[in-house]
Structure 1
Amino acid sequence: MSSEGLWSRTRRAAIEEISEVAMSLFLEKGFDATTIDDIAAAAGISRRSFFRYFGTKEDIVLGNLAAEGLRARDILATRPDGEPIWASLLHVLMSLDAEPADHDRLLKISEMMYGTPSLRARHVEKHLQWQADLLPEVRRRLPETGDGLDDLRATAILATAIACLDSAGKVWTERRGEVPLHDLLAAAFTAVTSTS
């Protein structure tokens, strides 16, 4: 195997190990009460080494979220061209949500995320990146109107779909996971797409 492959595997293993240590600390002490120095000490690395792997503490909790936007884009590209855009986006967002291996742990992480302003802000920032990732494909699927507002419509649809996901996640957390996230997401989509 190439040295690049080995380096990538080593880096991924280090990120996973540091993330696991950090998440344990966050869940035990609280996100805000856990410092980068605490994480570095518990992981047996220097503060400087921490910043080789993560830009912020928030990236430990939400690091995979940015990559999910690219995955969402790829899933959307596989949907039939004639499918209504809302149906396509619902399918995409449901595809990203796999059943958690550890329901209780995911619930604690979600409570931490919705209850910590810096995590919420970073969460919104990463969802804005999702919008940028998905915009060209959503825009391609919408009919041309000739009024110069096609990008606006695509952006509004995406922002609304992601707001539905966020709203469903918040309710899932508040109800302690008793209602499946898929059901909440479908209900949110129905609320914004149904005509009265």
Structure 2
Amino acid sequence: MAGMSAPTDQGGLRARKKQRTRAALIDAGLDLFLTKGYDATTIDEIAAEVEISSRTFFRYFAGKEDVALAKGDEFDELVLEALSARPAAEPPLPALRHAMLAMIHEAAAGDGVRRFLQVQHLINKTPALLAGNLRRAAGSEERLTTEIAARQGVDQAHDMRPRVLVGMVCAGLRIGLETMCADPRRDLERLVELAEEAIDLATAGIPQRWGDDPHTW
């Protein structure tokens, strides 16, 4: 019986090795972008840092933009998973708010607040990344909207409330992060505090529970 598990073990080892290589490429790429600048960094340089070929690099990423935005992609997935895991009876605003703030805390705690903010600043000051990040954000908002609509049992084609809610929460988060980038403090509690404050300001007019009329809250 022991021998039967070997292929599975090997598959698990390969998956973990691939994940480690992917994480190493992201870290190496971000280090180079922050040190040399995004435009001046080449794919060959990123690959060399991880001691793989440029050809192997393309097994993980389509290009260096994907490396720069990878942390954002991971964050989007975590928020969607966290929202899906919230209790079904929880109203949409607190469900999304809790999911978003919990994942901000987790992401910044894992990478360190300074690193987290450095990546935000890198994206904001690099036109090519800013455009790519807007595309990423739009896709994330679409998936969150679909999840909120499903939780509420409404048709998002005829009910704008899920889209408006998600748009306001995401706008609040973006403003909170921009405010944090200009804040002299670099601690996790301050980051979450500003994100929470901005989200609450952005959604101040949205009630927790919605009525039956799709044209009003």
TM-score over 0.5 (shorter chain): yes
Q: What does the per-residue CA deviation read over 1:3-30, in whole Å, with 9 as the maximum and x for residues that have no partner?
A: 3222211211211222222222122111
Match of 1:53 in 2: 60
The CA deviation at 1:94 is: 0.6
Secondary structure at 1:52 match in 2 = coil
Mapped to 1, the partners of 2:101 and 2:197 lie a distance apart of 12
Alignment of 1:145-160 (within 5 A): 149-150=158-159, 152-160=160-168
The amino acid across from 2:191 in the alignment is L
CA displacement at 1:82 relative to structure 2: 4.1
Unpaired runs of 5+ in structure 2? Answer: 1-5, 206-217
Deviations 1:67-107 (A, max 9, x none): 43333233223334443322221111011012435333333
Query: Where do 4+ consecutive residues of structure 1 move more than 6 Å?
Result: none
| Mapped contact 1:172–1:184 kept (Cα < 8 A) | yes
> 2:118 aligned with 1:111, yes or no?
no
In structure 2, what is the equivalent of residue 120 of structure 1? 130
Aligned match of 2:29: 22
**What's the CA shift for 1:176?**
4.7
Question: Which consecutive residues of structure 1, in runs of 5 or more, have no partner in the other structure?
Answer: none
Match of 2:175 in 1: 167
Residue matched to 2:214: none
User: Are 2:36 and 1:32 aligned?
Assistant: no
Identity of aligned residues (%): 27
Distance 1:186 1:16, change over 3 A: closer
> What TM-score do the two structures reach when normalised by structure 2?
0.76
In 1, Cα distance between equivalents of 2:44 and 2:153: 53
Match of 1:68 in 2: 75
Q: TM-score, normalised by structure 1?
A: 0.83
Does structure 2 retain, via aligned residues, the 8 Å contact 1:139–1:154? Answer: yes
Deviations 1:96-126 (A, max 9, x none): 0124353333332222122112222222222
Question: How many pairs does the alignment contain?
Answer: 193
Residue 12 of structure 2: which of 5, 9, 32 is its match? Answer: 5
Counterpart residue number, 1:92: 99
Separation of aligned partners in 2, 1:124 and 1:147: 21
Equivalent residues of 1:107, 1:177 under 8 A apart: no
Question: Using CA pairs below 8 Å that are at least 6 residues apart, which structure has the higher relative contact order?
Answer: 1
